[in-house]
Structure 1
Amino acid sequence: MDLVMFFLEPARFVKRLTDMAIPLSQKLRLQCTFTGAPKMFFTWYKDGKQLYASYRYNTRIIDNTCVLECLHESNNETPGKYSCEVSNSFGTDICHANITTVTEPARFEQKLKDKKVAMSKKLKLECTFTGAPKIFVTWYKDGKQIYASYRYNTQIVGNTCILECLHECTKDTPGIYSCEVSNSYGIDICQAEVTTVSGPARFVKKLTNQSVLWGQKLRLECSFTGIEKLFVTWYKDDKQVYASYRCNTKVIGNTCILEYLRECDEDTPGKYSCEVTNEDGSDICHALVTLATGWLTNLVS
């Protein structure tokens, strides 16, 4: 009996179209779900006129779901009353949705960020935006408009604004860079401070030789400069030193620190080295650490 009822089931919607407000920058997509005995027929309408698959629309069936996709971004012709009709030999059902468009002002989704760049590198800035077309993009440096030229390349890839300097950084590179996006509904601007740094990692205060007493705890320090991202490695007698129960390694600001967590003993003396590296270069400095004999003299006395 159930099988007979299935084959006699009229076409009907179990999930209908719903009214929707869509930004002008998006593509409209409508879907509704149906049930009913085969053979099913489907028809889409807009404002009472039948829609056909074309360069503007794509219609398809995915399992029990009717889908209408607009192949272009919404515009002033998109709003209207959309309808989907399903039918079989035992009945017909139809559902509707009122579609409106909303104005979407231009705005940034990912803004520019302050940046440090090596003198040996080329500056590249990126930010992403959203908003209803037509979007206009303008770049500035220190308040003055930047144009595509032998110095700069400006482009838009998808929703990403890109500014590329075509030459390595110079003393003229630092400054406040701004990007402005605008459309008929609004405007947004973001900015970043760009500074230049000497590129390769190098030490500005190197390790110095030390003579430590028995019972003291060894502490070594050196300071560096260079563009991020920097990596610091310590060595003793050319073998890498790792943070452990014996020693601690850390970086505070631009200072590398090696601290022994236990008092000095016969294993402490040796050649200690600190190496800093980044993508532009590396530097290394050394110190000889010896044990002083002052405690022995005092003991004999």
Structure 2
Amino acid sequence: MEVFLKTEDEINLMRRANQLVGATLAELGKHIKPGISTLQLDTIAEEFIRDHGAIPTFKGFPNPFGEPFPGSICTSVNNIVVHGVPDEKTILKDGDIISIDCGTLLDGYNGDSCYTFCVGEVAPEVKHLLKTTKESLYLGIEQAVAGKHLGDIGAAVQEHCENEGYGVIRELAGHGIGKEMHEKPQVPNYGHRGNGMSLKAGMCIAIEPMITMGDRQIWLLPDKWGIITRDGKPAAHFEHTIAIREGKAEILSTFEEIEKLEGDIY
């Protein structure tokens, strides 16, 4: 398995791409409210990304069936875990949650991040799912230091979420990232401490817990993109791109502007 370690110059370029993803998600956060369609959000995202000199990486990205993704962002509402296709028919309503996954290609390097937003007033038990999933992301990042293992990241996510009774999806994982949006290695959200590939300084990976309120079993939608929970219960998805260091990992993407908009919703 070939893993590309990044130089400081490359990490600087990746930081710029990832900061743009964070800015795009924050811009979308201003528009997320009952009555807006996921296609409208997609249009806002594409214009914002291109206006900042970047390309929306997801647009045209092929699925395993060779079909290009039609949108610039993934808009996954409620029980759609990931890869929701933006369309004019999906109108957000009060009480929904929406996971927006966004990627940019800027100066030859990729940014990738996801945030699950509340639409209007969301049920407390759903907010708790979001809070727990977001916490698990940061617990995973704490383990992402040189000398540890991929299993340390997965175990931290899995333990935190399963302790709350939530499902941890096995079929989907985080990934390496750099010049390509998806590079080696895969970064599962489950595992055993001390197992898996040893982490090295200069590795850049996207850690992305995908957590369900109920059973962890999933289905693929007929559009061959959206992946939903089999039991119809909500799912949350948070993602950061990070650079692994000798000490604490550096988070290259950002939720800072989103969190300023949201306030203390959990």
TM-score range, shorter chain: under 0.3
Q: Taking structure 1 as the reference length, what is the TM-score of the superposition?
A: 0.20
Rg larger in 1 or in 2?
A: 1
* Richer in strand (by share): 1
* Richer in helix (by share): 2
